[in-house]
Structure 1
Amino acid sequence: MTAERGETAAETRRGWTKARAILAGGLVLGVGAAITLAAWTDNEWATGIFGSGNFGIEGSTDGTAFSDHSSEAEAADLAFTVGAENLAPDDVVYAPFAVQLERDSTYDAEVTIGQAVDPALVGVTADYVFTDTLGCSEAAYAAGTDENAATFALGSLDDVQNVCFRVTAGDDLPQGVNGEITWNFAAVSGDAL
C-alpha cells in the first residue's frame, strides 16, 4: 500500500510538473504573440498650417497719399473749394476723395457709403458721384456717374474709386451756423484676390 501511495504521489508530482511546463509554455507563447502583434502596429499623421488673410480700405484727399482713417475722430479733412466755411444761400462747393484696398489686403471689397449732415446745417444738402479721375469741380460732377449710389466694389489692388462730393447751401440756410457733414465708407470683405 505504501508502494502504491508512493507511485500515486510521484504521478501527481509529474502531472503538476507537466501542467506547470504547459502553463509556462503558454505564457511564453502569449508573450511571443503580443510581441508579434506589436510589430504590426502602424501610425499615420497629418497636419495643416492655418492663418488669416488681411483686409482693409484706405482713403486719400489727393489721390497719392493714402492712409487709414478708421474712426470718425480720425476722419480725413476734405479739401472743399474756397468758401466752404463761409457759405451763403445757393453756394455750391466740391471736394474729391479716393478709396482703395490697403496694400496688404488679400480680399476684395464691397463698400457702402453713408452720410450724416449736422442738423445745425439747415437747408444744406450733400451728394456725390463717382469719377474717373480725382478732380472734383462742377464739370467733374456733371461728368460723374451713379449719383448717390450706395455701394461700389474694389475688385483688385489696382482699383481706386474716386468720389466727387458736392455740398449745396439752400435758401433757408441761417446765418452764423457751423456743422459737419460726415461720410462713412463701410467695407465688407468678399472673394480672395
Structure 2
Amino acid sequence: MSLDHTAHEAETPRRGWTKARALLAGGLVLGVGAAITLAAWTDNEWARGLFGSGTFGIEGSVDGATFADHPTSGDPAELSFAVGADNLAPASEVFAGYAVRLSAGSTYAADVTLTQDTTDALSGTTASYVYTTGATCDAAAFAAGTNPNGATFELAALDAPAFLCFKVAADANLEQGQSGSITWTFTAESGATL
C-alpha cells in the first residue's frame, strides 16, 4: 500500500509538470502569433483634388474708352446720341456708338445676344444697328458697318471690345411733342476658356 501511495505521489508532480509544459507551449504559440501580428507592415496613400471656378462678365462703354458694368435695366448706360436726338423731325437720323468687352479678369469668352426693346419708342421712329471697327459712330461709320441687326457676336479675348453703331430714324409718321426710349440688352453666356 505504501508503494502505491508513493507511486501516486510521484505521478502527481509529473502530471502537474506536464500540464504546465502544455500551457507554456500554448502560450508560446499564441505569443508567436501575436508577435507576427505586431510586426506586420502597413502603408497608406491619399489623394485630394483642388477645385476653383472661373470668372466671366461683360461691361460697356459709351465712348469706347471708359468701361463700366451696367447690370440692371434700372440703371443702364445712357447712349450719347447726336445733338438733336431730343428734337427729332421727319427724316431725322441720329447715331450713337457703344462698345462691349469682357470684364477684366474673365477666364472665359462670351457669346453675346443683343435684343432691342422698342415698346416705349417714339411712334414714327425705327431703330437699327451695325458692327463697326472703332468707337466712331456717325452716318459714314453706319454705312460702312457690317452684319446689320446681327443678333449675336462673340467676345473671344480680353481688351478686344466689339463696337456697335446704333441709328434711330424718324419718318413722316413722327408725332409732335412726344418722348420715348429704346432699350438695348446685351445678354452674355460664357463660352470657351480663354
Does the pair score TM above 0.5? yes
Instruction: Name the residue aligned to 1:175.
Output: 176
What residue identity is the alignment partner of 1:10?
P
Cα deviation digits, residues 41-98 of structure 1 (max 9, x gap) = 1112233332222111111011111111111122100000111122223221110001
Instruction: Name the residue aligned to 1:27.
Output: 30
Assess, with a 3 A threshold, how the Cα gap between structure 1 residues 61 and 2 changes in structure 2: closer, same or farther: same
Cα deviation digits, residues 106-162 of structure 1 (max 9, x gap) = 111111101101345223211100001111111111100000001111111132110
- Provide the C-alpha distance between the structure 1 equivalents of 2:7 and 2:110, rounded to a whole number of angstroms: 104
Instruction: Name the residue aligned to 2:87.
Output: 86
Structure 2 residues not aligned, in runs of 5+:
none
Give the deviation of 1:4 after TM superposition. 4.3
Instruction: Name the residue aligned to 2:14.
Output: 11
Between Structure 1 and Structure 2, whose CA radius of gyration is higher?
2
Give the deviation of 1:169 after TM superposition. 1.9
Give the deviation of 1:184 after TM superposition. 0.8
Instruction: Name the residue aligned to 1:61.
Output: 62
My pick for the range that moved more, 5-14 or 177-186, is 5-14
Instruction: State the SS of the aligned residue for 2:146.
Output: coil
Instruction: State the SS of the aligned residue for 1:153.
Output: strand
In the TM superposition, 1:1-193 aligns within 5 A as 1-37=4-40, 40-119=41-120, 121-193=122-194
Instruction: State the SS of the aligned residue for 2:140.
Output: helix
Q: Is the 8 A contact 1:120 1:177 kept in 2?
A: no
What residue identity is the alignment partner of 1:20?
L
RMSD of aligned alpha carbons: 1.6
- Provide the C-alpha distance between the structure 1 equivalents of 2:120 and 2:159, rounded to a whole number of angstroms: 38
TM-score (norm 1): 0.91
What residue identity is the alignment partner of 1:33?
I
Q: Is the 8 A contact 1:116 1:182 kept in 2?
A: yes
Structure 1 residues not aligned, in runs of 5+:
none
TM-score (norm 2): 0.91
Instruction: State the SS of the aligned residue for 2:98.
Output: strand
> How many residues of Structure 1 are paired with residues of Structure 2 in the alignment?
191
